[in-house]
Structure 1
Amino acid sequence: MKILVVDDMTSIRHVMLNLLRSINYIDLEEATNGWQALQMVKKNRYDLVITDLNMPKMDGRELLKEIRTDEKLKHTPVLVVSSEQDKERVKELIQHGVNGFVVKPFNAATLQKQIQRIERQMQIKANK
């Protein structure tokens, strides 16, 4: 599974990458903001985009919106991670088609459960 990790904070990106490696995901790339991530997903195929919500240039919500409105990218799973728990913001992400939402801080088990749930969603869609 090829995963793109998007976060403007280097330390958080590295924690996320290490967590993913600890649960045996090794095909990983990283982006520092939503705009950079969007350029990367337009050039490469990713099985999952894990993005922070609040970032400069283009935030996670805008990135999700761009992915969902692009005909070639719209089926790419997106998992949002954030310390923000505002219910209206989460509802907005759901309306834009987010596949999952994880509240920081979280551990490897929580991350793995979300990724496995998204993988099952994608298998179901592929079998239809």
Structure 2
Amino acid sequence: MEASSSSSSSKGFMANVEQPHVLAVDDSLIDRKLIEKLLTNLSCKVTTAENGARALEFLGLGDQQHNSLESNVSNSKVNLVITDYCMPGMTGYELLKKIKESSIMKEVPVVIMSSENVPNRIDKCLEEGAQMFMLKPLRQSDIKKLRYHLMNCNS
């Protein structure tokens, strides 16, 4: 019987802190899987959502969940949200605005990613409170730039 390859000594840069929880939002299954793999390589717990509405539900910010807001958030504490900009129904920018308007989620860093390099779109997201704007496809070097935000969100 072979031992599991994920030992506790291979936690990398997050070895001495609680495993950060990242919510990855993208309408593309391939992109969600890629982000999940890259973040898992950095010892993150990853939850994925296929659209903004699902992300808001998970965060306890869905329209029908205002009464149970506190219990939902405490059950699913998220340290970082990374979202695609272009998604059907609700864009990443609209998701960012809803998170930043929430009294209990506004401190959570939000990273926007897009395959399109549109300077005014990038500026708009950063002005609205996005922590960072990354171009897709993401690479491990891009995810490593998130270290600062992931390490500081646990303190």
Structure 1 partner of 2:150: 119
Whether the 8 Å contact between 1:79 and 1:102 is mirrored in structure 2 is yes
Give the TM-score normalised by the residue count of structure 1. 0.87
Structure 2 partner of 1:108: 140
Bigger Rg over Cα: 2
Structure 1: gaps (5+ residues): none
Q: Return the alpha-carbon distance in structure 2 between the equivalents of residues 98 and 78 of structure 1.
A: 5
1:118, distance to aligned residue in structure 2 (A): 2.0
Q: 2:39 aligns with which of 10, 14, 20?
A: 20
Which consecutive segments of 4 or more residues in structure 1 shift more than 6 A? none
- 1:27-80 superposed Cα distances (whole Å, 9 cap, x missing partner): 111100011101111233200111001001111000000000111111111011
Aligned residues: 122
1:23, distance to aligned residue in structure 2 (A): 2.3
Q: Return the alpha-carbon distance in structure 2 between the equivalents of residues 105 and 11 of structure 1.
A: 10
Q: 1:5 aligns with which of 17, 24, 41?
A: 24
Whether the 8 Å contact between 2:80 and 2:150 is mirrored in structure 1 is no
- 1:61 matched to 2:93? The reply is yes
Q: Select between 70-79 and 35-44 the one with higher mean Cα deviation.
A: 35-44
Give the TM-score normalised by the residue count of structure 2. 0.73
Superposition CA RMSD, Å:
1.6
